Every structure is written in C-alpha cells, then in structure tokens.
C-alpha cells in the first residue's frame, strides 16, 4: 500500500511540474487572422505555442463571428483565411 501511494504521489508531482512549466512558458506566436465568409470579414488576434496551430485557432475563432450554425461553421473553417499576420513573441 505504501509503495502505491508513493507512485501516485510521484505521478501527481510530475503532472503539476509539467503543467506549471507549460503555464510559465507562455505563448510563442501572436497571429491576426482575417476570414471572409458570406461577405462578412472578421479578424481575430490569437496567441499560441505553434504558428500553424495558432492560425487554425484564429480561423476557428473568426468563423464563430462570420458563420451561424454548425454547417456554416464547418464550411467557414475550410475556407482559406483572407490574411494572416504572425509574429514571434
């Protein structure tokens, strides 16, 4: 029983240390992504760790303002962004 408790405690401490590391590391990229869908242009600024993932997140967030409903949101997400400007932080 004592050995299992030590293993669980160690695992929990590793999880807490990794989570703290990710929180302190912060974002690496800031991108402004503009999407044009149904004649509506929406631009969003997003931050993330990876440039490509940050752009995908920006498209998804911008589509939330340009599309209504699930089908339109999926169509909008598959539309290439009108403009993307990223900078490394």
pTM, whole model, 2 decimals? 0.70
User: Residue 42 is encoded by which pair of tokens?
Assistant: 């929406």
SS3 category, 39: coil
pLDDT in tens, 10-35: 887 887 877 777 666 778 899 999 99
pLDDT in tens, 31-53: 999 999 999 999 999 999 899 99
Closest alpha carbon to 6 in 14, 36, 49: 14
Cα 42 to Cα 26: distance, rounded to the nearest angstrom: 26
Closest alpha carbon to 77 in 27, 42, 29, 31: 42
């Amino acid at each position: 029983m004592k050995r299992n408790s030590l293993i669980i405690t160690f695992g929990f401490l590793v999880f807490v240390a990794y989570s703290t590391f990710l929180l302190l590391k912060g974002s690496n990229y800031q991108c402004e992504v503009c999407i044009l869908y149904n004649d509506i242009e929406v631009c969003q600024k997003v931050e993330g760790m990876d440039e490509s993932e940050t752009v995908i997140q920006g498209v998804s967030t911008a589509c939330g303002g340009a599309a209504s409903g699930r089908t339109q949101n999926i169509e909008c997400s598959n539309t290439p962004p009108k403009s993307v400007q990223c900078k490394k932080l």
